[in-house]
């Protein structure tokens, strides 16, 4: 019996509760991590996210299925991993990645069912026919900062969408508000600061976002996460990120107020999460936990639903499409393509202990030059990562490369100066084919246990499960790096891995 079937049967036994509510509001951060009080960050101030968490079921084991922007958004919207939906890397500019033509996103499925769909903020996926919304206010029509960081403008767009939706009293809606914070500004607009923390701040020449009240942080009072080097440039970098977290947080508060003022709060399932981890070392573009572990809350209007409680159930972004479909009492037109499960039963009951429950991750690109396919399985205790291009150095994306944090790591390494970091740049670049971690004993994923005789059975079990998932999701990389997928001629109806002889 497959992992998916096991979990599905388990959750079906938790009687599915009928829902009368009509709408879904999905709030998505861009490169956001656990920078909030609800996840025990004692420095950053996030009163609106914390308030939402208290009204929600809080997920402590939620994971992205890919640690890259466009691929993650495509996975969230299709319920399929990047290698299955075809959005291998960034959609914009020279990267030009798009999902496969036959892919159906949740917006297209809901639209055909008569449910009104909206997207405000960052879109960053394609093609248009696969990801079409009835109401779109994205970077395809406006400057990205105006639709993704200008929380006053976001508020007004949300108001317009809700007014249009309520003009049709029987019409349900799915609205995705996709913030651009706390994404880096990077090399494009460096005058606004590393994280665009100066844009709209009221400083001279920066303009003003009327509803944003910036919060500034003292760099030497920040609690650094373990994967950050303890240097002044890194601390300055994180302090700038925290300021944009305040903009995200206040934006969430404005959106929820619009929902409440429209009289729709009691009819709407609210979900908050982020597309992937923050643009920091070992995080975004990595399948280590800082890259794929995500914050997630789910607030149900059902009075019997769990609130201010934590679920430890292993959860994937691939579960969001099945959840939304069940909320609207719909089925997927191609149910066999989904490997996720509805999360609605968790709103009412925590399942029994499931130590072998697992989530899966798949990364192939970020930018088009960043060819570094990785596949992973994570249980509550173990993680196995398969680095298919392990002969190559791990690639660094442009935004992170120009960041104060990475430039300091690079300069200290070149100058052979001390680097107070839990890795070295060499070990960060050069990775083995297999990485196996015991997360109970080694939560920082610092000790690779692959090859240890005591871990042989664990490795074999996890690698078999991972391979089955790759086959189930039709991964074209599933024979790499030691074989070639042969699916022509006599193998047309039975794709086979043929050995490269090494």
Q: Which two tokens stand for residue 28?
A: 């998505």
User: Mapped to the 3 state alphabet, what secondary structure does 300-343 carry?
Assistant: CCCCCCCCCEEECCCEEHHHHHHHHHHHCCCCCCCHHHCCCCCC
Q: Are 475 and 362 in contact (CB under 8 A)?
A: yes
Q: How far is CA 357 from CA 7, 124, 253, 403, in A?
A: 7, 31, 34, 37
329 burial (CB, 10 Å; 0-12 / 13-18 / 19+) is exposed
CA pair distance 367, 89, nearest whole angstrom: 6
Residue 4 — very low, low, confident or very high, per pLDDT cuts 50/70/90?
very low
**What pLDDT does residue 169 have?**
65
**What pLDDT does residue 8 have?**
41
**pLDDT higher than 50, residue 19:** no
**pLDDT higher than 90, residue 433:** yes
Mean pLDDT confidence for 109-131: 96
Domains by residue range for the chain, with CATH? 23-350 (3.40.720.10), 360-499 (no CATH)
pLDDT in tens, 223-274: 999 999 999 999 999 999 999 999 999 999 999 999 999 999 999 999 999 9
**pLDDT higher than 50, residue 7:** no
Is the Cα torsion angle 440, 443, 447, 451 positive or negative in sign? positive
Mean pLDDT confidence for 365-381: 97
DSSP conformation class of 95? T
Mean pLDDT value across the chain: 93
**pLDDT higher than 50, residue 368:** yes
Mean pLDDT confidence for 352-374: 94
Mean pLDDT confidence for 133-154: 97
Q: Which two tokens stand for residue 235?
A: 């601390």
CA pair distance 364, 68, nearest whole angstrom: 9
**Which residues, in sequence order, are CB contacts of 169 under 8 Å at separation 6+?**
none
Q: Are 462 and 384 in contact (CB under 8 A)?
A: yes
Q: Are strands 296-299 and 57-59 parallel, antiparallel or unpaired?
A: antiparallel
**pLDDT higher than 90, residue 486:** no
Residue 140 — very low, low, confident or very high, per pLDDT cuts 50/70/90?
very high
**What pLDDT does residue 12 have?**
38
- Dihedrals phi, psi of 219, to nearest 5 degrees: -60, -35
Q: Percent of the chain scored above 90 by pLDDT?
A: 88
**pLDDT higher than 70, residue 9:** no
DSSP string of 216-245, one letter each residue: ---GGG----TTS--SHHHHHHHHHHHHHH
> Any catalytic annotation for residue 69?
yes
* Location of structure tokens 């609800």: 38
Q: Are 281 and 80 in contact (CB under 8 A)?
A: no
Q: Which two tokens stand for residue 331?
A: 């089925």
Residue 355 — very low, low, confident or very high, per pLDDT cuts 50/70/90?
confident
Query: In whole angstroms, what separates CA 195 from the centre of its chain?
Result: 18
Q: In this structure, how many other beta carbons lie within 10 angstroms of the beta carbon of residue 496?
A: 12
CA pair distance 474, 41, nearest whole angstrom: 39
**What pLDDT does residue 15 have?**
36
**Which residues, in sequence order, are CB contacts of 267 under 8 Å at separation 6+?**
21, 22, 23, 301
Mean pLDDT confidence for 410-429: 97
CA pair distance 125, 20, nearest whole angstrom: 31
pLDDT in tens, 92-116: 889 999 999 899 999 999 999 999 9
CA pair distance 498, 485, nearest whole angstrom: 6
Give me Rg for the CA atoms of the chain. Answer: 22
* Location of structure tokens 């430039």: 407
**What pLDDT does residue 422 have?**
97
**What pLDDT does residue 166 have?**
85
**pLDDT higher than 70, residue 490:** no
CA pair distance 291, 66, nearest whole angstrom: 8
CA pair distance 444, 282, nearest whole angstrom: 10
**What pLDDT does residue 363 have?**
98
**Which residues, in sequence order, are CB contacts of 9 under 8 Å at separation 6+?**
none
Active-site option among 10, 69, 185, 497 = 69
CA pair distance 174, 328, nearest whole angstrom: 10
**What pLDDT does residue 14 have?**
37
Find the range with the poorest average confidence among 167-176, 194-203, 321-330, 384-393: 167-176
User: Mapped to the 3 state alphabet, what secondary structure does 86-132 carry?
Assistant: CCCCCCCCCCCCCCCCCCCCHHHHHHHCCCEEEEEECCCCCCCCCCC
Strand partners, 435: 385
**What pLDDT does residue 171 have?**
84
Order across the sheet with 358-363: list the strands.
358-363, 374-379, 382-387, 434-438
**pLDDT higher than 60, residue 3:** no
**What pLDDT does residue 488 have?**
58
**What pLDDT does residue 188 have?**
80
Mean pLDDT confidence for 146-164: 97
Q: Are 100 and 158 in contact (CB under 8 A)?
A: no
CA pair distance 333, 398, nearest whole angstrom: 38
Q: Which two tokens stand for residue 353?
A: 């202990």
The torsion angle over the Cα atoms of residues 443, 449, 450 and 454, rounded to 10 degrees, is: -130
Mean pLDDT confidence for 294-308: 97
């Amino acid at each position: 019996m497959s992992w998916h079937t096991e979990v599905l049967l388990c959750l079906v036994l938790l009687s599915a509760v009928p829902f009368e509510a009509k709408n879904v509001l999905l709030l998505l951060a861009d490169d956001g991590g656990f920078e909030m009080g609800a996840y025990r960050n004692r420095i950053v101030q996030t009163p609106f996210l914390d308030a939402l968490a208290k009204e929600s079921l809080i997920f402590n084991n939620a994971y992205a299925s890919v640690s890259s922007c466009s691929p993650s958004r495509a996975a969230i919207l299709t319920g399929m991993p990047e290698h299955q939906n075809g959005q291998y890397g960034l959609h914009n500019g020279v990267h030009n990645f798009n999902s496969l033509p036959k892919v159906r996103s949740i917006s297209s499925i809901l639209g055909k069912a008569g449910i009104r769909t909206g997207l405000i903020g960052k879109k960053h996926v394609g093609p248009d026919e696969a990801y079409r919304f009835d109401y779109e206010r994205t970077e395809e029509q406006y400057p990205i900062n105006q639709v993704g960081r200008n929380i006053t403008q976001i508020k007004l767009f949300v108001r317009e969408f809700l007014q249009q939706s309520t003009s049709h009293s029987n019409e349900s809606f799915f609205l995705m508000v996709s913030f651009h914070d706390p994404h880096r500004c990077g090399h494009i607009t460096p005058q606004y600061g590393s994280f665009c923390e100066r844009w709209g701040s009221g400083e001279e020449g920066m303009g003003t976002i009327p509803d944003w009240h910036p919060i500034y942080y003292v760099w030497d009072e920040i609690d650094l996460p373990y994967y950050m080097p303890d240097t002044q440039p890194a601390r300055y970098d994180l302090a700038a990120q925290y300021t944009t977290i305040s903009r995200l947080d206040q934006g969430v508060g404005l959106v929820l107020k619009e929902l409440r003022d429209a009289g729709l709060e009691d009819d709407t399932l609210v979900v908050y999460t982020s597309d992937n981890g923050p643009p920091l070392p070992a995080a975004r573009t990595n399948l280590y936990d800082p890259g794929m572990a995500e914050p997630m809350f789910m607030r149900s209007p059902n009075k019997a639903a769990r609130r201010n409680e934590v679920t430890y159930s292993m959860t994937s972004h691939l579960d969001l499409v099945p959840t939304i479909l069940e909320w609207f009492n719909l089925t997927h037109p191609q149910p066999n393509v989904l490997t996720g499960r509805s999360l609605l039963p968790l709103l009412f009951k925590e399942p029994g202990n499931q130590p072998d429950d697992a989530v899966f991750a798949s990364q192939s690109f970020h930018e088009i030059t960043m060819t570094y396919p990785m596949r992973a399985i994570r249980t509550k205790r173990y993680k196995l990562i398969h680095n298919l291009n392990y002969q190559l150095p791990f690639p660094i994306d442009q935004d992170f490369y120009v960041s104060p944090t990475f430039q300091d790591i690079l300069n200290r390494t070149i100058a052979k100066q001390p680097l107070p970091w839990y890795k070295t740049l060499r070990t960060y670049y050069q990775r083995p084919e297999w990485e196996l971690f015991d997360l109970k004993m080694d939560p920082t994923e610092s000790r690779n246990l692959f090859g240890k005789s005591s871990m042989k059975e664990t490795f074999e079990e996890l690698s078999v499960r991972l391979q089955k998932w790759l086959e189930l999701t039709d991964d074209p990389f599933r024979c790499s790096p030691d074989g070639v997928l042969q699916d022509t001629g006599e193998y047309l109806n039975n794709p086979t891995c043929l050995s490269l002889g090494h």
